[in-house]
A and B are shown apart, each in its own frame.
Chain A
Amino acid sequence: MAEALQTMQDLSGKVAGIVGSARVFTAGDLLDKYSANEGCSQTGRPDIVAQVSSREQVQALVRLANECGVPVVPRSSVTGFYGGSVPEQGGIVIDMSGMKKILRIDPKNRWALFEPGVTYGELQAELNAKGMTALLPLAPHPDKSVITSCLEREPKLMPKHHLDETILTMELVLPTGGFFHTGSMAVSQEPPEKVQAAAHTDLCNFMGPGLDWFRLLPGSLGAYGIVTAMNVKIAVKPTMQKLIFFGFKNLQDAVEPWYHLLHKLIGDECLLLNSRYLALLLAKEPGDISRLQAGLPPYTIILNLTAGEHRPEEKMAYLEKAVQDAARIFQLQPMESLPHAQDAAAALQAILSKPWDDGGAYWKWRGRGASREVFFLTQLQRAPEFLRELQSAAAGSGYPISDMGLYLQPKQNGRAFYMEAGFSFSPDDPAEKARAEQVQGEASRGLVDKGAFFYRVYGPWTELVYGRTGNLQKTLKRIKHTLDPNNILNPGKLGF
């Protein structure tokens, strides 16, 4: 430690010198908020929270942290889910949720450049006004930062291969405190929004320099660098769309037809929900959930057929014919509405195009107030096997299977599937909470044993997953050591 830290007061004074004293918090309820996330039990109290408003402040704080040997935990979303921004070793939480500038939108090259505090709702409003759309996960929390969502690799509703990796260039503050530009942003050291004026680049090359940062940063939970600006791919807003539903009694029955639809490149947004999750999304009132759930097919594939600016009717016609052909091959009944939810198509179209903005509880928490989740990637052919594992973990813990939500999201036209199970519970009932957490733990262990691929690694999964991956964690640690010799950025998160 270069300069021994005298007191908390010293440090908070220095932090205040950077962000202003009104933006520094060292005690009280506010710190509680930063000590936990909604979707996990992990807690960890920061010593200081600094609410920053500029890239320069982020950099100055990281430099200060290096001088003092104090951990720094970056945070961009107001509401966190899985503990990524809960401090493991105290230190300074850098809250970037106030950095809300959308710096540039380039409709021609189809990207938007913005700061970490920008949410999907804020971005989508700007994009829609320009005839464009953000690439959304399924009904994200209204507070969710787009940058965090990309860095956490939340699955996107759009399973097209070229829209799977959406990060283009980034500005980072490296763990040692220097600004660093990735991809073609690297040709100028001006602030991101000024790079295009200073250089001949449209910020479209995401690779390099030195490392492929657009891949190393996501999944690192802030351990390799803090992103202060990012441009991501956006898409042209469709001019026509039509939702089609396929209902299934068993998940196994969905496998072959779904592969077919995806390999034939039919439609855009595409996902499967079980009746529980679908009811949570569609119910007008929380009181309707059970009734709705009982009437819905156990599993529903939701497929959005879309057309753009060119001959939209003709495109819809060939897509609808392709759907009919698939239905004939697999003897399915495509539906334009759902039993007991006649307006499901219109309601879902709205839900799929924006963050959750119901005003009430977040949709995953609507059932009982809170939930624990298990999520991983799989090949579709193995999904039924993993579903059985989830169900047996639920049964083994006495968790009602009918309360378990299920979401499957294809990636890259079906090359892989994100699979998520949600176990809701009442947060006021400790026994219910314990049971949900028990299912989460049991299911995770069973799934990992069977080969479910836990690609996002949080909290208790760290040991479970990395423990089996040979030298992977050690290699990640060696990279960390090179980039962050003082172990300043979010220490402990990757298990080191």
Chain B
Amino acid sequence: MAFTEMAYKALQDIVGSENVSNDPAICQAYSRVQWLPSGVLQRERCGLAMRPACVVMPGSTQEVQRILQVANRYTFPFVPRGSGFTFSAFPTLAGTIVIDPKRMDRIIELNEKDMYAVIEPYVSFVGLQAEAMKCGLYTPTPLAGSQVSCLANYSWHGAYGNSWITGIGAQNLLGFELVLPDGEVVRSGSMACPGAGSFWNDGPGPDLRGFLRSGMFGHAGGMGVVTKISCKLWPYAGPAEFPAEGTANMKFSSSLGENWKWYMIKFPLKYPEQEEQELRKSAELFYEMGRAEIGEVATHLAQQFLYTYSSVTKQDLFDNMKNDVFPSGFCVVALQGKTSPDQLAYEDRVLHDIVKKVGGIFVKEDEPAYQVWIKRAANEWIRFGNAQRLSRASDCFSIGSSNVDSIDQIVYEILESNKVGRDLLKNEGLGKDFVQPLSMNGGWISPQEYGYWCLHTTDVFPEQAVDQCNQAIEIIGKVTKSQFERRSAAAAIHMIGPAYDLFGPMMGDVHLIVKGLKREFDPGNLSNPGYATRPDVVTPEELAKMMGH
């Protein structure tokens, strides 16, 4: 069966006719992710059929539950969505409905003492951040930008650059309420126990977050709809109201007060010729900081990140590149005085010791790099994430490679995968029209939890055009292939959607386990088919290409 008029009427009955729409103009807006051109990957085959059959806006868990019950009765697929910033929030099959949570936007609880919040799906990071800061608390922010849904991000992914102590989405999610694909509601953590509150994550018994999330990516809406989460908040010693000066694009926040101190650190090495040494030195810095347990932010920003994230217009971006404002990647560190000013002063001294030991140099305040990054972008990162700017260079961007493992392995993977990319450019001309030289070198090193582990991405900047985006996908495929050949830890993080079938046999047949769970909980494969595993979302040829063959 598919989506029918009767099904539509049933949905109207549940949410009220004003909260469901099959207007083609409205549905079209839910049919493609903004940063990919039409015609890339599955869009090529589905065309206009990618437009959802309708968009429905539930206002409560009970309404979500009833929507899923209707979906099961008439067997049509549904896609849960946050703000719709990523590709997996869009239909992969004709006749799919999109569940838009705009009406579920409450911060239900903000607990200052026990440092957590309980939120609904449409609460954005920036909304939560503003409220949390008033209580001396804050959250890390995804580079995707703080306009995205905090709940969607914590449930499915979550990678941040200001998470040196907080960890990523996986660490920040506490309890949750999930409507399973068949419409049953399950709660996890203390939320599951009447009267226990929402403060804690694991139990009773096994921690169900282990079922909701699965590696760097969760089931991406493939295991029902999360309707509520509790999440961590972190001690924050900055001002209760985020300070900003200026207007529109020229709105900057130059200081978070006396309890925050930013540093930019470089190494006296030639870029890109000595990039390897520069990355290894950065790793040394982070290992030392981790052993000393100092700092609030510690990350290595690739040259490409520095340019894109700090630019306020396209012209600004290219001017900065022309003026060589960021001649290489830089390490960016922040200290926060949470205990006392003496603690901040102590950490400042230790940081100076460590930087000296590893041969680094503090960028001076009057250097252009400091002026552009620290004065204009760094604080905004705490609030905004600012990833929209990532597409500044070309109105598009693509991951070149990513990995999660030790800091050392991250450096190894950045070097190796960039080498693959450069060889493809040289030998096959792949990426020759991308914005260069931003797409050839560099890597974002984001160590987590005082350096116990680390993640990275490298990025490339194709124009928002089909042939260039397809080249980007080809590059990812070849990089992935090399990761498997080299047996890089990176191979373990690619498990999402069709990749399960490709890589599962190499990893203890995990695809069979995930398919078994999907069959158990969603026998009709209605919850965001394609995620977790549905091999026919892309053709075998596309898959082969994605794998670099």
A468 to B205, CA, bound (A): 13
Stretch at the interface among B20-28, B110-118, B263-271, B363-371: B110-118
Task: Return the CB mask of B457-498 against A: 1 if under 8 Å, else 0.
Answer: 000000000000000000000000000001111011101000
C-alpha gap A413/B353 in the complex (Å): 28
The reply to whether B452 and A109 form a contact with Cβ atoms under 8 Å apart is yes
- Chain B minimum-CB-distance residue to A450: B195
- Given A200-B412, A321-B340, are A452 and B196 neighbors across the interface (CB < 8 Å)? yes
**Given contacts A186-B492, A453-B193, A453-B196, are A414 and B114 in contact (CB under 8 A)?**
yes
Contact residue among B202, B290, B406 (Cβ-Cβ distance under 8 Å from A219): B202
Q: Across the interface, do B488 and A201 meet the contact criterion of CB distance under 8 Å? A: yes
B453 nearest CB neighbor, chain A only: A204
Contact B510 A200 (CB under 8 A): no
Shortest C-beta distance, A382 to chain B (Å), equals 8
Q: Does B399 touch A at the CB level, under 8 Å?
A: no
Could you tell me how many residues of chain B have their Cβ less than 8 Å away from some Cβ of chain A? Answer: 93
Least Cβ distance of A451 to chain B in Å? 3
B115 nearest CB neighbor, chain A only: A415
Determine whether B358 belongs to the interface, using a CB cutoff of 8 Å to chain A.
no
Distance in Å: Cβ of A144 to nearest Cβ of chain B = 20
A205 near B202: Cβ-Cβ < 8 Å: no
Shortest Cβ gap from A463 to chain B (Å): 12
Q: Mark A298-337, 1 if CB is under 8 A from B, else 0.
A: 0000000000111100110111011001000000000000
Residues on B with beta carbons closer than 8 Å to the beta carbon of A475: 180, 184, 186, 208, 211
Taking CB atoms, residues of chain A closer than 8 Å to B209 are 212, 215
Contact present for B204 and A457 (CB under 8 Å): yes
> Known: A178-B508, A205-B492. Is A153-B202 also a contact (CB below 8 A)?
yes
- Chain A, 232-273, contact with B by CB distance < 8 Å: what is the 0/1 string? 010010000000000000000000000100011110000000
Contacts of A494 in B (CB 8 A): 205-206
State whether the Cβ of A346 lies closer than 8 Å to any Cβ in chain B: no
List which B51-86 residues lie within 8 A (CB) of chain A: none
Query: Which one of A8-16, A284-292, A479-487 is at the B interface?
Result: A479-487
Q: How large is the interface on A (under 10, 10 to 19, 20 to 34, 35 or more residues)?
A: 35 or more
Inter-chain CA distance A265–B290, complex, in Å, is 16
**The residue from A201, A203, A204, A215 contacting B210, defined by CB atoms under 8 A apart:** A215
Q: A204-B405, A381-B114 are in contact. Are A187 and B492 (CB under 8 A)?
A: yes
Partner of B514, one of A201, A210, A259, A379: A210
**Beta-carbon nearest neighbor of A171 in chain B:** B508
The reply to whether the CB of B433 lies closer than 8 angstroms to some CB of chain A is: no
B176: min CB distance to chain A, Å: 12
Say yes or no: is A70 at the interface (Cβ < 8 Å to chain B).
no
* Bound form: Cα–Cα A28–B170 in Å: 48
Contacts of A224 in B (CB 8 A): 206
B525: Cβ under 8 A from any A Cβ: no
Chain A residues contacting B292 (CB-CB under 8 Å) are: 308-310
Interface string of B182-202 (1 = CB under 8 A from A): 001111101011111101101
What A residues does B207 contact at CB under 8 A? 215-216, 218-219
B193 partner residues in chain A, CB cutoff 8 A: 448, 451, 453-454, 465, 468-469
Complex interface bits, A156-181 against B, C-beta within 8 A gives 1, otherwise 0: 00000110010010000010001111
Q: Which residues of B contact A472 (CB under 8 A)?
A: 186-188, 192, 204-205, 208
Does B32 interact with chain A (Cβ within 8 Å)?
no
Which residue of B has the minimal Cβ distance to A255? Answer: B113
Interface centre among B111, B293, B509 (most CB of A within 10 A): B293
B205–A259 touching, CB < 8 Å: no
Given that A200-B413, A465-B193 are known contacts, is A308 also in contact with B291, CB under 8 Å in the complex? yes
Determine if A379 and B197 form an interchain contact, defined as CB atoms under 8 angstroms apart. Answer: yes
Tell me if A199 counts as interface (CB < 8 A to partner B). yes
- Partner of A184 from the list B167, B338, B404 (CB cut-off 8 Å) is B404
Which 4 residue pairs of A and B lie closest in terms of their CB atoms, listed nearest first? A208-B215, A451-B195, A216-B210, A455-B203
Query: Residues of B at under 8 Å CB distance from A?
Result: 111, 113-116, 165-167, 170-171, 180, 184-188, 190, 192-197, 199-200, 202-211, 213-216, 232, 235, 287, 290-294, 338-340, 342-343, 345-346, 349-350, 353-354, 404-409, 412-413, 449-450, 452-454, 486-489, 491-493, 495, 500, 504, 507-511, 513-514, 516-517, 519-521
